[in-house]
């Protein structure tokens, strides 16, 4: 690389690295992961659980079984089905025979301007018991541990939170997703504070709708899910709207209380999850461009720059052994490795070391016990340029299909 190119890349990467380090240094102040807890009498009937479904028959059974193991803090479990054709409501009705807290309802036809998931959750909120103090939205693909709801509620009330969502433990099964999925997740970790940090800026708040606990009074005050009606990342959009109103919002580590099996294989992970990770529906255009710059600088570029240096080094070594190129060309190659280029190389080696350190830190967030090719998890940094490309590809496109629904 010429010195001019090296200086340009340094100008792009140095400030991004400073931002990344400022976020990582908050790590020691993180709230500890939520632990499963036993309920206490004051929690009796405080929570209404709402689950949106659309053709989830192959995935919902672990959720239903896990919810049935939650104790008396759960008043009701409302499954809002969007006219599934695979027998999903029948599974819920069968569970209702064993646990009367379960009930299933069908949401109204999707109105203009609404995305299916927030519409189902909004209907569930409107039809849930007003006697419950908390609303808990759960996705059909999560696998809750016993004590999840009690632990979540006690944490929320002890911390004075009005809204708390949890990051799960992800279940991996196939080689491709073991390699790609951690790289996609890392795009969030680079852009936002770690889970367990109380973010002070509402526009930088993170949330996860897979497990989304909110005070019922707060949700009513913001009109339910109406403020996130058209958002394909309704969880983050709604959480930020609530934070703007001055309510306390938390995003905590829930790897000890729930697991999730999101998508089957690398291709589905690329297509479905990659579509929502840009968070464009919850982000201003300037913030979106800023996040894309950060990802490009500290996640997308390091591996490419290091590989370029390796190629240059190999060329230099080869030219010395077999002088097939001219002295002038050799001199230019050697000059390209002067101070700016060496500083650039050092910076990117440092960023790659950080990346592997972050991979080690998030390892507990993955269940790889039954995964084929689980060792590919440790090579996921080599998928980083591809993950950053996925965010760029989706950042300026509106999804036309989502979770089995088609949108015009």
CATH number, domain at 220? 3.90.550.10
One domain, residues 148 and 217: yes
One domain, residues 274 and 300: no
One domain, residues 294 and 275: no
- The CA distance from 45 to 140, in Å, is 22
One domain, residues 243 and 257: yes
Cα separations in angstroms, 357 against 236, 290, 360, 362: 27, 24, 5, 9
Domain assignment present for residue 317? The answer is yes
Closest listed residue to residue 55, CA positions, set 90, 93, 98: 90
Q: Which of 279, 295, 316 is the last residue of a domain?
A: 279
Domain assignment present for residue 201? The answer is no
Q: Which of 254, 279, 304 is the last residue of a domain?
A: 279
One domain, residues 135 and 264: yes
Q: Which of 247, 279, 311 is the last residue of a domain?
A: 279
Cα 394 from chain centre: 15
- The CA distance from 185 to 176, in Å, is 14
One domain, residues 260 and 357: no
Q: Above 70 in pLDDT, residue 316? A: no
Domain assignment present for residue 402? The answer is no
What is residue 342's predicted lDDT score, i.e. its pLDDT? 87
3-class DSSP assignment, residue 297: helix
Q: For residue 334, give its domain range.
A: 3-26+287-397
Give the neighbor-by-neighbor strand order of the sheet with 47-53: 102-106, 74-81, 47-53, 134-138, 211-215, 163-167, 249-253
DSSP H helical segments within 61-166, as ranges? 61-68, 88-98, 116-126, 148-159
Q: Above 60 in pLDDT, residue 233? A: yes
Cα 231 from chain centre: 15
One domain, residues 379 and 249: no
One domain, residues 369 and 229: no
What is residue 338's predicted lDDT score, i.e. its pLDDT? 66
- The CA distance from 171 to 148, in Å, is 17
One domain, residues 376 and 305: yes
Q: What is the mean pLDDT of residues 193-199?
A: 91
Domain assignment present for residue 179? The answer is no
Domain assignment present for residue 189? The answer is no
3-class DSSP assignment, residue 373: coil
- The CA distance from 52 to 1, in Å, is 52
Closest listed residue to residue 139, CA positions, set 261, 228, 254: 261
Neighbour tally for 93: CB within 10 Å: 14
Domain count, the chain: 2
**pLDDT tens string 74-90:** 999 999 999 999 999 99
Q: What is the mean pLDDT of residues 135-161?
A: 96
Q: Distance between terminal CA atoms of the chain?
A: 46
One domain, residues 159 and 36: yes
Domain assignment present for residue 320? The answer is yes
Q: Which long-range contacts (CB under 8 A, 24 or more apart) does 398-404 make?
A: 399/232, 399/275, 402/115, 402/116, 402/117, 402/232, 402/275, 403/54, 403/116, 403/117, 403/272, 404/54, 404/55
Confidence bin at 310 (pLDDT 50/70/90): confident
Domain assignment present for residue 274? The answer is yes
One domain, residues 132 and 216: yes
One domain, residues 45 and 96: yes
pTM here is 0.91
Confidence bin at 329 (pLDDT 50/70/90): low
Domain assignment present for residue 174? The answer is no
Q: Above 90 in pLDDT, residue 295? A: yes
- The CA distance from 360 to 372, in Å, is 19
């Amino acid at each position: 690389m010429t010195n001019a190119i090296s200086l340009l890349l340094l100008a792009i990467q140095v400030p991004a690295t400073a931002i990344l380090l400022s976020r990582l240094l908050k790590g020691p102040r993180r709230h500890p992961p939520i632990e499963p807890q036993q309920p206490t009498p004051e929690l009796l009937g405080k929570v209404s659980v709402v689950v949106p479904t659309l053709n989830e028959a192959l995935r919902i059974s672990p959720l239903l079984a896990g919810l049935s193991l939650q104790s008396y803090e759960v008043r009701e479990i409302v499954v809002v089905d969007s006219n599934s054709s695979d027998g999903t409501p029948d599974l819920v009705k069968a569970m209702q025979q064993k646990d009367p807290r379960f009930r299933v309802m069908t949401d109204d036809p999707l109105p203009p301007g609404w995305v299916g998931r927030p519409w189902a959750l909004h209907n569930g909120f409107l039809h849930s018991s007003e006697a419950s103090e908390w609303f808990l939205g759960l996705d059909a693909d999560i696998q809750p541990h016993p004590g999840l709801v009690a632990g979540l509620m006690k944490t929320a009330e002890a911390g004075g939170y009005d809204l708390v969502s949890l990051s799960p433990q992800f279940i991996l099964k196939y080689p491709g997703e073991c390699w790609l999925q951690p790289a996609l997740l890392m795009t969030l970790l680079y852009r936002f504070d770690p889970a367990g940090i109380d973010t002070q800026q509402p526009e930088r708040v993170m949330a996860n709708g897979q497990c989304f606990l909110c005070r019922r009074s707060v949700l009513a005050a913001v009109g339910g899910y109406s403020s996130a009606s058209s958002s394909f990342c309704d969880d983050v959009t709604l959480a930020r709207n609530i934070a703007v109103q001055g309510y306390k919002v938390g995003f905590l580590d829930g790897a000890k209380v729930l697991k999730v099996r999101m998508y089957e294989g690398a291709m589905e992970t690329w297509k479905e999850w990659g579509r929502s990770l840009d968070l464009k529906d919850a982000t201003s255009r300037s913030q979106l461009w800023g996040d894309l710059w950060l990802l490009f600088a500290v996640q997308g570029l390091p591996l490419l720059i290091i590989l370029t240096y390796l190629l240059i080094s190999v060329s230099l070594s080869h030219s010395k052994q077999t002088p097939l190129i001219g002295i002038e060309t050799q001199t230019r190659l050697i000059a390209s490795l002067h101070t700016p280029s060496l500083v650039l190389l050092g910076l990117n080696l440092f960023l790659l070391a950080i990346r592997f350190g972050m991979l080690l830190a998030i390892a507990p967030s993955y269940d790889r016990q039954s995964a084929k090719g689980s060792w590919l998890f440790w090579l996921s940094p080599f998928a980083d340029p591809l993950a950053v490309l996925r965010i760029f590809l989706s950042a300026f496109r509106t999804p036309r299909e989502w979770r089995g629904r088609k949108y015009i």
